[in-house]
């Protein structure tokens, strides 16, 4: 089970990411953070495997937040700004999702994280197709 954190100042982004995450059996939402300061406070006492990180937030921008972490978890950037992708990959993010993004693109990003954390585990898409199937024998 991958524990994840959403860091975004937009409530609608939280709803979308959580909704997509709820469809995946290997994801567990630990906390909604509406700014990076709240996330820093949470991460003092908790650990997560994955962060969904917005870039343009009040108080502390997404990449500035990421630079403060000595051992960051896997990060999937979720933003409307394509021009910061190169900087993100220089900071070792796993993927960069441009808003609005589809469930298919979200799943591809999560699978990259899953493969990096648990290289011998099957990707999530098989679990999804089994959940949607009406016959257990097809799984």
**Residue ranges covered by each domain of the chain:** 2-138
Which tens digits make up the pLDDT trace of 23-37?
A: 999 999 999 999 999
Lateral strand order in the sheet of 74-79: 27-33, 2-7, 50-53, 74-79, 95-98
Tokens representing 113 are: 């994280």
The mean pLDDT value for 1-24 works out to: 98
Which tens digits make up the pLDDT trace of 48-70?
A: 999 999 999 999 999 999 999 99
At residue 126 the predicted structure's pLDDT band, cuts being 50, 70 and 90, is very low
Select from 74, 70, 30 the least CA-distant residue to 53. 74
Q: What is the pTM of this model?
A: 0.85
Query: Which are the contacts of 42, defined by CB distance < 8 A and separation ≥ 6?
Result: 5, 31, 33
The CATH fold of domain 2-138: Rossmann fold (3.40.50)
Which tens digits make up the pLDDT trace of 111-125?
A: 999 999 877 655 555
């Amino acid at each position: 089970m991958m524990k994840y954190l959403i860091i975004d100042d937009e409530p609608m982004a939280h709803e979308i990411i959580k909704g997509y995450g709820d469809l995946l059996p290997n994801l567990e939402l630990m906390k909604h953070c509406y700014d990076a300061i709240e996330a820093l406070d949470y991460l003092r006492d908790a650990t997560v495997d994955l962060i969904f990180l917005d870039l343009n937030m009040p108080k502390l921008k997404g990449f500035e937040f990421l630079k403060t972490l000595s051992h960051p978890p896997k990060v999937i950037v979720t933003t409307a700004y394509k021009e910061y992708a190169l900087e993100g990959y220089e900071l070792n993010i796993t993927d960069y999702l441009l808003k609005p993004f589809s469930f298919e693109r979200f799943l591809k990003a999560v699978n990259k994280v899953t493969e990096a954390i648990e290289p011998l585990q099957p990707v999530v898409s098989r679990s999804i197709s089994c959940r949607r199937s009406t016959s257990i024998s097809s799984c």
